[in-house]
A and B are shown apart, each in its own frame.
Chain A
Amino acid sequence: MSSTSLAQVLRSRTFRRGAIYALPVLLSLAVVVLGLGVNQLREAQLDQREQIEERLSELAEQLREDGLTQVIDDYSEEFGPLWPLAEAGYLIEEEEVLLLVLQAGTPVLGFAELKVPAGWHHQPLAVAGELGAVETYELLARRVDLGESLAIVGALPPTLAQLRAREALRNLALLLGVFALATLSAVWVTTRYALARVSALSGAIVEMASGDLQARVSVSPASDEYDAVAAQINRMLAQIQRLMRNLEEVSVGAAHDLKTPLTRLDQRLQSIAQEVSDPARVGAHVDAARQHVQTLLTTFNALLRLGEIESGRLRATFDRLSLSELVQDVAETFEPVFSEQGRALEISVVPNLEVVGDRDLIAQLLSNLLENMLEHTAAPCGGWVRLQPHSDGALLQVGDHGPGIPPEEHNRVFERFYRVDKSRSKPGNGLGLSLVASIASVHQASYVLHRAQPGCVIDLTFPAA
């Protein structure tokens, strides 16, 4: 995770997407929340101003009507013309406007501590409370000049509503900040996590590409979407490894299977050259040579056929056909071959089962299985062919009572050129079951080999037409 750089994160699509989705939300939230807060604050402040103006115009009225001396007298009953600062604390609690009257710049009435700049202004005022604690109020104040060197000042601290609005606004802004920070860090963390997981995935692929066929991605037990992809990639890597190994074995197998008939062919040609004067011997050599060529051609034809089947090209010509009739027909065709060798082939076919497929391919599939049986088991070992309905369509079973195939070979016998008989001395080219597997796959039929007691059984499940 630490390997991801800042630039990488910023370039990442996850981050950009996240940011693109988060920013408009954050911005509109900010506009709405802050706008509302500021508006409320302004309204509260307007009330404050109105109260100050009202009190000032009341005082101005009194001054105009009664004169300065009378007004000073009226307001001086309790404390004298200049009021003690402690009184301001009470007035503030009562939300009353603090007043000051100036004559030629000198305080003559009210709180002398108030500062007197012109117009609207803010000023702090420190007031000692009853218990001696000093509290500083942020006052909004206004000076009005009344002429004849007379000026009055009114000051009021923010109202409770104003304080609340201000605090609410501050809290909202803070919340917004935290939210924005949380969102961005969530996007950031997600991005770094995604980058780390993706780089692990690509790392394994790079390792595989550079030749390490064992490379795999680690799959966490969380089984999230990355694990799903990782599992798929691992499956693909395993498949590639299997294919690579298969390819190696196929090359070796093919070389071996082609070399044997070629060697024999060469020997026959040499014999012809040696015995060219004896037509009878030459004829025999020629016949044998052609047999070896035939073996080679059979192998090539099987390979071409495999290629043709696996290309999936034939699927375009697939048609609905009676699997029952086809299986019956092929099995009956082989039955005399079995009985000629003194063996039995039991045929049991449930009629009217249909599949979508290619008649020739399915005939070849069954024919390969029956030929395998003829080649790999000996008389009097018999076999059986069964076709019956299955929940997914039709189940074709072909089995024999022979020695069977060892379970550890069950998966490998379908590989090309794979031979259970490692000496390759028995007839066949190791392609018969590969063809069976390919034909089954192209028909979306599943196939599984299992061991009978004794013998070998293959189950082929064809999907219903």
Chain B
Amino acid sequence: MHVLIVEDDAETGAFLVRGLAEEGDSAELATHADEALLLAPQQRFDAIVCDRLLPGMDGMDAVRILRKAHVQTPIIMLTALSGIDDRVAGLQAGADDYMVKPFAFSELYARLQALLRRQPMTAEETSLQVADLTMDRVTQKVCRAGQVLELARREYQILELLMQHAGQVVTRTMLLERVWGYGFDPRTSIVQTHVSRLRSKVDKPFERELIRTVRGSGYVID
């Protein structure tokens, strides 16, 4: 993928460009909002990563301008501000996701992938399938190899998110935000505990393990 990075801090900018290059992706770096406003509509970027505090302009205003100009590229806002209302304001301005600095590159990358994948799947699928595991999102029935699995509400929601992003890493923070709706980071491993319960039902009775742990970042189903 080709990513536009709007970031005035040289060290963070270089960190992002290097990280993307290592994953085999390309990036262009803009250090000013004006530059980003020129570049974003011209070139075909797959995603934009935009810092909130830019010299001369709030990143949020830049996003608002881009959205008004019908630039539909997925945007992730980066910010050192962690307030709950800042997050809401960022999403209202038209950003697709919002990340608080400092962040792990793996977290950002997982979110970028999730955004890109979401694009062609805008129509909400009513059924999801990964290998021999199927999920009917209307009846909320989950089957593996013809066997019906009894999942608790949270387990179902975790599996749903994993299956929607099959093949991609879903981080713990993403699960906390999207399954529980929590904006804070619990100190205990509640996500880990619930995922391990899910695994005991989805994977343990079967030969092949579908849910994998990606060390230091999250989970992937494939």
Q: Which residues of A contact B (CB under 8 A)?
A: 287, 297-298, 301, 304-305, 308, 313-314, 316-317, 329, 332-334, 336-337, 340, 358-360, 363-364, 367, 370-371, 374-375, 427-428
B180 touches A (CB below 8 Å):
yes
- Cα separation A308 to B83 with both chains bound (whole Å): 7
Whether A364 contacts B84 by the Cβ 8 Å rule is no
Cβ distance B161 to chain A, nearest Cβ, rounded Å: 15
Chain B residues 180 to 196 lying within 8 A of chain A, measured CB to CB, are 180-190, 193-194, 196
B213 touches A (CB below 8 Å):
no
Residue of B nearest to A374 (CB): B188
Which of B181, B193, B196 sits near A360, CB closer than 8 Å?
B181
> Quick one: which of A301, A329, A337 has the most chain B CB within 10 A?
A337
Residue of A nearest to B188 (CB): A371
Across the interface, which residues of A come within 8 angstroms of B185, CB to CB? 298, 301
Q: Which residues of B contact A (CB under 8 A)?
A: 82-85, 88, 102, 154, 180-190, 193-194, 196-197, 216
- Cα separation A375 to B188 with both chains bound (whole Å): 9
Cβ distance A367 to chain B, nearest Cβ, rounded Å: 5
Residue of A nearest to B179 (CB): A333
Across the interface, which residues of B come within 8 angstroms of A304, CB to CB? 82
Whether A360 contacts B188 by the Cβ 8 Å rule is no
Whether B190 contacts A301 by the Cβ 8 Å rule is no
Given the known A-B contacts A359-B181, A360-B183, A364-B182, are A337 and B84 also in contact in the complex, defined by CB atoms under 8 Å? no
Interface of A is mostly: helix
Whether A333 contacts B194 by the Cβ 8 Å rule is yes
Known: A298-B185, A360-B181. 11 other contacts (CB 8 A): A316-B85, A333-B194, A337-B188, A337-B190, A358-B84, A360-B183, A363-B180, A367-B182, A370-B188, A371-B186, A375-B187
Whether A360 contacts B84 by the Cβ 8 Å rule is yes
Cβ distance B148 to chain A, nearest Cβ, rounded Å: 22
- Cα separation A419 to B175 with both chains bound (whole Å): 31
Whether B188 contacts A317 by the Cβ 8 Å rule is no
Cβ distance A357 to chain B, nearest Cβ, rounded Å: 12
Number of A-B pairs, beta carbon distance below 8 Å: 61
Across the interface, which residues of A come within 8 angstroms of B193, CB to CB? 336-337, 340
Which of B85, B181, B197 sits near A317, CB closer than 8 Å?
B85
13 contacts between A and B (CB under 8 A): A287-B216, A305-B82, A313-B85, A314-B85, A316-B85, A336-B190, A336-B193, A336-B194, A337-B188, A337-B189, A337-B190, A364-B184, A370-B188
Which of A298, A334, A363, A370 sits near B182, CB closer than 8 Å?
A363
Cβ distance B22 to chain A, nearest Cβ, rounded Å: 15
- Cα separation A314 to B83 with both chains bound (whole Å): 9
- Cα separation A358 to B87 with both chains bound (whole Å): 15
- Cα separation A316 to B85 with both chains bound (whole Å): 10
Residue of A nearest to B189 (CB): A337
Whether B82 contacts A360 by the Cβ 8 Å rule is no
Given the known A-B contacts A287-B216, A359-B181, A360-B182, are A298 and B187 also in contact in the complex, defined by CB atoms under 8 Å? yes
Cβ distance A33 to chain B, nearest Cβ, rounded Å: 71
Whether B181 contacts A333 by the Cβ 8 Å rule is no
Top 4 A-B pairs, shortest CB-CB distance: A364-B184, A336-B193, A360-B183, A337-B193
Across the interface, which residues of A come within 8 angstroms of B182, CB to CB? 360, 363-364, 367
Across the interface, which residues of A come within 8 angstroms of B88, CB to CB? 317
Across the interface, which residues of B come within 8 angstroms of A363, CB to CB? 180, 182, 184
Whether A297 contacts B82 by the Cβ 8 Å rule is no
Across the interface, which residues of A come within 8 angstroms of B188, CB to CB? 334, 337, 370-371, 374
> Quick one: which of B154, B180, B181, B186 has the most chain A CB within 10 A?
B186
Which of B84, B102, B184 sits near A314, CB closer than 8 Å?
B84
Across the interface, which residues of B come within 8 angstroms of A316, CB to CB? 85
Residue of B nearest to A329 (CB): B180
- Cα separation A301 to B102 with both chains bound (whole Å): 10
Across the interface, which residues of A come within 8 angstroms of B194, CB to CB? 333, 336
Cβ distance A446 to chain B, nearest Cβ, rounded Å: 23
